[in-house]
Chains A and B, each alone.
Chain A
């Protein structure tokens, strides 16, 4: 090390309007300088490689990636970060437009998007859409599907006014801007990497470069001597209980591998020390000796007996689930049309723009973990379990979550951070690098879905058979959930009397496949929707009409024997699409008839249904609300908002239930010391389950107030400074809050609500009531295929979703558009290959230029169990998209894709093969 190195010369620049001086070395990434030295954590780091654009700032008015810019190049220049936009203390127009249009979901990409937009708007007051796409093309967003961002930028030229917040009783159904939105558009939001104490030690994991190996760790004394500022080295044997996993009886994933690694990227050792000390370590310095072994790769290898990924599972089978109904063989024999196929999908990465991050500290005999997560209550159990301490010794404080999509349901940084802080007594922080996030985290299960569907002459489905094989990677994670959910859904949203479906998950030496928006259902939908197209084509029935014939309706019985009592709106969705579908079919035919060159168009349709909440399992949520002596209303909300908007939606429901304006509600989110267990943010359950709980909490608070005032149900409540006014039929009563005894939270009046959706267990044939309610949807896609290059451009998507009731139409549209963008990626470009696509330039997710205009049609078939009739919408947006796109590709080319993603080379090969044939 060069100890004589002269002190770095100071670098001066104008930072957010102030002359500033940095003393960090000139080649330090400007992003690090702005965040660490100046505290402008609105500069987000999603990749440190130029690929995500989250760090976009303006340098002399031009957008650049602060993660690629040496500090030295800022010398004498003007630097503006998102924090510098509000120069006069008020939101700029483009910020207001983002808030108004719901352009920020999780908000991690928002600062970068805003800065790119500000550059554009600086020289084009009224930009066109294509100029907007070009200007924002370097910033990735994984949540929104970009359309609301484009809308916001195009609207920013006008005098943007934020809508007034609704009055008491009018919040449900209103386009209420995000209650936590302002922090996201000003850079104030604190994500996992943003609140790290200055004196924190840093943790760094050393991960296996091999998919499968035995290893030993040699003597570390030398290494320690060379790195005095590394304070601890943690190995498997230091961990009180070295296992975690979603299911209480399946803690099969070690926190640190113990002598054997089962996937590339598995952590084997952790270094804890000063940040520069842990970062300076070259992996080769550590005496870790691997003996690589031939990995088990892919489902076929896993099914071939002989080599187990986990010794306890010699046949590599994690789990299988099934549904049986009627007599398939007999029904097939009488069928007029039979279609069959085999469909394969790939590992898909969540690619949330915020990598896993957080910090922990020991407070006396308790441990406190601040991290990005979707499931604080599960994190708490996991940490208590790993540290072998009591649950009440653990506090989880979720930071803002920069995207999850299922990938932040499993613990990531939490157990090791907790252990490191516990043993060192110092705060310890850990921020995954992008490659680390991609290597270590869970993925969408690759699936092979083998299907056969049959129907009669009128197009009525007689049978559905589906055998879904899943590559579940090295550890169980959410594999059982996928294997159980898929057989239930594998018929598609159709009434089928004879059903034989299975789901099986196999271990391989790949990253653990876990939860990812849809839990396997998107993979199964690709198969069942291809079957619908094939059967329709065979009988020359219009593809939409064919689905309409078979659509599940109220009163129908599902494959598990459940009678749908209400809210089954698929027919309404299809009817909403029908006129546009017919028009699109005509337009596409006309285009193709005229076409001279290589471009051909096609239109496709996809349908789905999705059970809300856990499969045949209790998944309750408890919500609390209190009013303190001053009249402040606090909503103790244990449901983590990962960008999908639950903070806003639950507040809307709560406000209307109490009968007060939403503006009165203050939020406490997720902190396990202050909120009750709301269950995890997954399975599209927070609006439905926690929404019902919030409604109940609001009603119970209201009832308490009315009891105090001795008033009837119709009374109007108004909460003022230190008092509550209750007005009924001209009579006004006042409750003096100061007279009441406060509890530990300082609250004097309280409400609590709990909801657990009614389900029953599935029997040996998969019969029962797995879900209390289902969402339904139909989407239609128009694509243009370049027949000579095999490239596919999606031109438009129209999405009709039965959401029960849209509590907040902006959020509903945002969820659907975001899901569609992910479905588009699944269909056309996303393929995670360990060792090969571990970053965001080799692993492609859709950019702003890839997502077409999306129109959302909301169908509201009220669900009696849901709050104000609402169901969930978080996952359904994604499920029908890939089927619709694949159907459109088939329509355009005659090729039926059987492997996703349908990359240009695959599609071109299939087109050539078809032409050759």
Chain B
């Protein structure tokens, strides 16, 4: 009524901003769509009426922030990129934090959430490769009381498709603690400096023993298949190696086998493979020589 009088952009949908997890789950169960930072939601609705029934989860304190627990780190789903950048975290998170700095511009980093990035499941989501490299899990809750944990690689199943059931809320991202000294890295390739969708991006992780040999390696590539992919062959080849810049020399074209890039406005498939090789080598050289 009032909106009509004002001549404003009005909508037929509904909106509630809940303050408890139970309310959020109940709203979900009744068919509502989740709204977090809105940075993926609104751009998909330019010039369209906002007619969804929305439940805004950004007021839920328990979904926010990063905590260290016994076996893992817990990143609340509505933690924003800016909050991630501002939190004091071990080098394990360097890759995710580098990714955070490259998401959109600061406005997007201040509003966009990690949970939203994963649930939106764009092939170009910058959060996915570095979190994949960390072996992250996601935690999903439903109003039925179910709470399950799923490897990120099983959660993101396709281009904008996830394994989330319609009544499930992604509550947290769980990052296992490394065995040794671990650090992560991330490189993004775009055609301009800010506000750019990745042509290809690479998240890497090295977990080293006390003598500087690789206990575990993580290498994930985004925007080169419907979902970001781990390069298992390459990861295996690094195990037991002494970490230094020469790790980059292990990278072979065959290691890209899990990728299936496409041609689009941002680049050709051939270019993506070629650039992915370069980015992986650079990232491993950086990580290897840093340790």
Query: Which residues of A approach B to under 8 Å, CB–CB?
Result: 1-2, 5, 7-8, 23-29, 32-33, 36-37, 47-51, 53, 56, 59, 62-65, 67-70, 72-73, 75, 116, 119, 133-135, 137-140, 196, 198-200, 274-276, 279-280, 433-436, 598, 788-791, 828-829, 831, 833, 836-837, 839, 841-842, 844, 846-850, 903-905, 908-909, 912
Contacts and interface: CB of A to CB of B under 8 A. Distances in A.
Contacts of A116: 106-107
Contacts of A842: 197, 265
B290 interface: no
A137 B105 contact: yes
A790 B192 contact: no
Given A7-B2, A25-B13, A63-B106, 20 more contacts: A8-B15, A23-B2, A24-B6, A25-B3, A25-B15, A27-B56, A48-B47, A51-B43, A62-B82, A68-B43, A138-B108, A199-B7, A200-B7, A275-B7, A280-B51, A433-B47, A789-B278, A829-B191, A831-B265, A850-B192
Nearest to B194: A137
Given A50-B42, A138-B104, A841-B197, A789 B275 contact: yes
Nearest to A429: B7
A846 B270 CA distance: 25
A181 B180 CA distance: 59
Contacts of B275: 789-790, 904, 908
Interface in B186-234: 189, 191-197, 199
Given A36-B9, A905-B271, A839 B46 contact: yes
B46 A433 contact: yes
Given A68-B42, A139-B105, A846 B47 contact: no
Given A48-B46, A788-B278, A56 B107 contact: yes
Nearest to B8: A36
B110 A62 contact: yes
16 contacts: A64-B110, A65-B111, A68-B39, A69-B111, A70-B35, A138-B105, A196-B7, A275-B10, A434-B46, A841-B43, A847-B192, A847-B194, A848-B193, A904-B189, A909-B268, A912-B274
B58 interface: yes
Contact of B1 (A7, A134, A274, A788): A7
A116 B108 CA distance: 12
B175 to A, nearest CB: 25
A36 B107 CA distance: 22
Contacts of A598: 278
B281 to A, nearest CB: 9
A64 B35 CA distance: 16
Nearest to B10: A276
Chain B interface: which size bin?
Answer: 35 or more
A28 B3 CA distance: 10
Contacts of A828: 191
B256 to A, nearest CB: 15
B267 interface: yes
B146 interface: no
Interface string B24-63: 0000000000010111011100111111101010100000
B56 A72 contact: yes
Interface in B104-163: 104-108, 110-111
A33 B274 CA distance: 47
A24 B3 contact: yes
Contacts of B56: 26-27, 70, 72-73
Given A138-B194, A841-B195, A48 B106 contact: no
Nearest to B109: A138
B110 A844 contact: no
B11 interface: yes
A684 to B, nearest CB: 28
B17 interface: yes
A25 B107 contact: no
A848 to B, nearest CB: 7
B20 interface: no
B35 A435 contact: no
| A50, A53, A62, A275, most chain B CB atoms within 10 A | A50
A582 to B, nearest CB: 30
B120 to A, nearest CB: 13
Contacts of A32: 8-9
B189 A791 contact: yes
Interface in B89-113: 104-108, 110-111
B14 interface: yes
The 9 A-B pairs with the shortest beta carbon distances in the complex, nearest first, are A138-B105, A849-B193, A137-B194, A26-B15, A905-B271, A49-B43, A36-B8, A433-B47, A27-B15
Contacts of B107: 50, 53, 56, 63-65, 68, 116, 138
A49 B17 contact: no
A764 to B, nearest CB: 43
A741 to B, nearest CB: 45
A interface: dominant SS: loop
A7 B54 CA distance: 15
B4 A274 contact: yes
B43 A50 contact: yes
Given A275-B9, A850-B192, A904-B271, A280 B49 contact: yes
B93 to A, nearest CB: 19
Nearest to A35: B8
B16 interface: yes
A434 B46 CA distance: 8
A49 B192 CA distance: 18
B282 to A, nearest CB: 8
Contacts of B47: 48, 279, 433, 435-436
Contacts of A909: 268, 270-271
| A200, A836, A849, most chain B CB atoms within 10 A | A849
| B14, B105, B106, B192, most chain A CB atoms within 10 A | B105
Nearest to B4: A276
A75 B18 CA distance: 12
Contacts of B43: 48-51, 68, 841
B12 interface: yes
A528 B110 CA distance: 47
Nearest to A793: B193
B198 to A, nearest CB: 12
B38 A276 contact: no
Contact of B38 (A68, A119, A435): A68
Contacts of B266: 905
A435 B2 contact: no
Contacts of B110: 59, 62-64
Contacts of A433: 46-47
A766 B260 CA distance: 54
Given A24-B2, A137-B193, A435 B46 contact: yes
A814 to B, nearest CB: 21
Given A72-B17, A433-B47, A908 B271 contact: yes
B246 to A, nearest CB: 15
A137 B7 contact: no
Nearest to A26: B15
A5 B14 CA distance: 8
Contacts of B265: 831, 833, 836-837, 842
A908 B11 CA distance: 47
| B9, B39, B54, most chain A CB atoms within 10 A | B9
A28 B111 CA distance: 16
Nearest to A36: B8
Given A47-B46, A49-B42, A50-B42, A829 B104 contact: no
Contacts of B191: 791, 828-829, 844, 903-904
A73 B17 contact: yes
A309 B242 CA distance: 66
A850 B271 contact: no
| A68, A434, A837, most chain B CB atoms within 10 A | A68
Contacts of B10: 24-25, 28, 275-276, 279
A133 B15 CA distance: 36
Nearest to A432: B47
A301 to B, nearest CB: 21
A278 to B, nearest CB: 10
